[in-house]
A and B are shown apart, each in its own frame.
Chain A
Amino acid sequence: QVQLVESGGGVVQSGGALRLSCAASGFSLSSSGMHWVRQAPGEGLEWVTFIQFNGNDKEYADSVKGRFTISRDDSKSTVYLQMNSLTVEDTALYYCVRDGGNYDFDFWGQGTLVTVSS
């Protein structure tokens, strides 16, 4: 079955960096676009970034542009999110999400928590 397992979250000081990983299984990652979506504690969902199935196109929300970088290694069935210059506003549960092919988000991981302290 489809599985997305995020890791790499933790506590980091403001201005610091973290790299999140998303291990995919149960489907062909190389055929799938992938997203990261985050949810601040008690808040709603925020789309963060997308990478096309072939890695040729990457897009970012304005709130993270220039600070976050999405990448993928299909040989390792893993998607990454490099987060630099973190601020307290980046504190959230970060979900790795498969693009459903209909401009939707059809399968979600359980998330990894990132806490940025001041």
Chain B
Amino acid sequence: QSALTQPPSASGSPGQSVTISCTGTSSDIGGYNYVSWYQQHPGKAPKLIIHKVNERPSGVPDRFSGSKSGNTASLTVSGLQTEDETDYYCSSFAGSNIWVFGGGTKLTVL
């Protein structure tokens, strides 16, 4: 049950796109199409923004998109807005009703 690897920080200018990576193993990300992403504003509970690798729950702007290649998943935020500046976490199902999170990425909108 090792944590997924995310870069500690990422940044972009308003209107630009930024991609956050999330690297695991063949036992989690590589083995299942059950990667999800969460947005967490300071002092708030996390919010689900992507599930099943690339699907957006109802109400999530289409500026948020997800993908996966091998053992690495990615979250892309397009058309960056100031309100996107916060923390993002990836998670993957790892089999046998076990889950694992990434360490989180702080996104800065310059």
Question: Residues on A close to B: CB < 8 A?
Answer: 35, 37, 44-47, 50, 52, 57, 59, 61-63, 95, 100, 102-111
Q: Is the CB of B51 within 8 A of A102?
A: yes
Quote the shortest CB–CB distance from A15 to chain B (angstroms).
24
Q: A45-B38, A105-B91 are in contact. Are A100 and B48 (CB under 8 A)?
A: yes
| B34–A45 CB distance below 8 A | no
Q: In angstroms, how far is the closest chain A Cβ from the Cβ of B25?
A: 15
Q: How many A-B residue pairs have CB under 8 A?
A: 71
Where the two chains meet, the residues of B that have a C-beta atom closer than 8 Å to any C-beta of A are: 1, 3, 32, 34, 36, 38, 40, 45-48, 51-52, 55, 57, 89, 91, 93, 96-104
A46, chain B: closest CB distance, angstroms: 6
CB distance from B90 to the nearest CB of A (A): 10
Chain A residues near B104: list those with CB within 8 A. Answer: 44-45
